[in-house]
């Protein structure tokens, strides 16, 4: 999908290139290249890929994606990144950026795996698009995540380590300085590792209302509501209070076989559990914002066995406790 890039990004790229050590003599060909691309109203991800490829060829600098991502400023990005900036914390931001990745590019898959102490943020491209194998995407994404999380939490977050799939570049000695942690190469996956609590540090830019508006816009761009989803949501609303309301009961409510429903969901890019979880969270937030019910009543309405189960579900889905969410309203 085409993206709009304001003129300030050209200035940002040039300033970043200079600050990274490029001399003025290195820039003319690059500035012309930027101008040719950025004067257009719309810029596609493929053109940005070509821009980065040409930049590396013209300058010999393999680390500029990291530098650019360090310098990126929220005011210069569009609705896709607003999903992250208005999220409550890093975990929710990554979940939103992954859910609506088609606003930017389908290759930008981000996955979080947690253990007892650490969180592993994995750049995992599974669609085999050529852009998925460009080393500068993982480098820029990790740099952007690190620096924007520091900006949005006002905390000098330290990384544990970073692993990249690609081989060492000629500027590898600069990477530990850029990231402030050990950087290793030739690994099975691109992985940024932080302490688990970093995922839940609150973003000072969190705005629930704006986030919901941006999500609604993203949803319309990535997954236009189809009649099937609308029918499923209506049926789910009717059965949401039933803890046993699963895909079999949903199929019966829609007068189709479970196999047919599953196939239709797969074709539309949805899963039953995802739709049910999203509806539960939406209804929970509406109720919490209106103070309409006690937690026990809300848990019963949403099909949870008790308020404790609701609290656990809410924290897992949003990265916030119910009390923390109420404090943001």
Give me the pLDDT at residue 2, please. Answer: 32
Amino acid 130: pLDDT: 41
What pLDDT is stored for residue 41 in this prediction?
Answer: 43
Same domain as 231, residue 191: no
The three-state secondary structure class of 303 is coil
Residue 91 CB burial class (10 angstroms; 0-12, 13-18, ≥19): buried
Position 48 in a domain: no
Q: Report the domain count for the chain.
A: 2
**Do 105 and 149 share a domain, yes or no?**
yes
The domain boundary, picked from 137, 167, 200, lies at 200
pLDDT of residue 202: 93
pLDDT digit string (tens) for the chain, length 329 residues: 233 334 444 455 555 555 555 554 555 455 554 555 445 445 555 556 666 776 676 666 677 777 767 655 544 456 677 888 889 999 999 988 888 877 766 667 788 999 999 999 998 765 444 444 577 778 888 888 888 888 889 988 899 999 998 888 777 888 888 899 999 999 988 999 999 999 999 999 898 888 888 888 887 777 666 777 888 888 888 888 888 889 999 988 888 888 888 888 877 777 888 889 888 988 888 888 777 778 999 999 999 989 999 999 988 888 778 888 787 76
Query: Does residue 269 sit in the same domain as residue 316?
Result: yes
User: Do 190 and 259 share a domain, yes or no?
Assistant: no
Residues 159 and 123 in one domain: yes
Same structural domain, 113 and 195: yes
The reply to whether 190 and 298 lie within a common domain is no
Q: Assess if residue 43 is contained within a domain.
A: no
pLDDT of residue 135: 74
Q: How much is the pTM?
A: 0.58
Distance CA 160, CA 328 (A): 30
The domain of 149 spans: 62-200
If asked whether residues 192 and 67 sit together in one domain, one would say: yes
Residue 55 belongs to a domain: no
Is residue 307 in some structural domain? yes
In a domain, 207, yes or no: no
In a domain? residue 47? no
Decide if 12 is inside a domain.
no
Q: Do 146 and 236 belong to one domain? A: no
Question: Is residue 292, in this structure, part of any structural domain at all?
Answer: yes
Q: What is the CATH number of the domain that holds 312?
A: 1.10.10.60
């Amino acid at each position: 999908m085409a993206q709009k890039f304001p003129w300030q990004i050209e200035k940002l790229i040039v300033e970043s290139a200079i600050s990274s050590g490029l001399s003025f003599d290195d820039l003319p060909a690059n500035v012309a290249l930027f101008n040719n691309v950025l004067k257009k109203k719309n810029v596609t991800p493929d053109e940005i890929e070509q821009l980065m490829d040409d930049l590396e060829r013209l300058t010999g600098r393999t680390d500029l994606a990291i530098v650019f991502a360090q310098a990126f400023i929220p005011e210069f990005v569009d609705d896709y990144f607003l999903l992250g900036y208005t999220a409550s914390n890093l975990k929710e931001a990554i979940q939103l950026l992954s859910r609506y990745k088609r606003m930017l590019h389908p290759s930008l898959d981000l996955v979080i795996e947690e253990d007892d102490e650490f969180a592993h943020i994995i750049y995992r491209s599974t669609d085999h698009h050529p852009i998925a194998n460009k080393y500068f995407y993982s480098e820029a994404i990790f740099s952007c995540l690190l620096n924007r999380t520091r900006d949005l939490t006002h905390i000098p977050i330290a990384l544990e380590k970073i692993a990249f799939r690609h081989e060492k570049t000629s500027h590898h000695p600069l990477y530990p300085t850029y990231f402030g942690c050990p950087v290793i190469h030739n690994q099975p996956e691109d992985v940024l590792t932080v302490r688990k609590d970093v995922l839940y540090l609150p973003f000072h830019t969190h705005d629930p209302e704006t986030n919901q508006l941006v999500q609604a816009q993203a949803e319309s761009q990535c997954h236009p509501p189809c009649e099937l989803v609308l029918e499923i949501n209506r049926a789910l609303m009717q059965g949401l209070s039933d803890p046993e309301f699963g895909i079999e009961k949903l199929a019966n409510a829609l007068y189709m076989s479970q196999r047919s429903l599953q196939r239709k969901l797969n074709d539309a890019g949805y899963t039953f559990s995802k739709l049910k979880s999203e509806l539960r969270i939406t209804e929970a937030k509406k109720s919490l914002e209106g103070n309409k019910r006690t937690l026990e009543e809300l848990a019963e309405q949403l099909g949870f066995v008790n308020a404790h189960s609701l609290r656990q579900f809410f924290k897992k889905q949003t990265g916030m406790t119910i009390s923390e969410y109420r404090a943001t309203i």
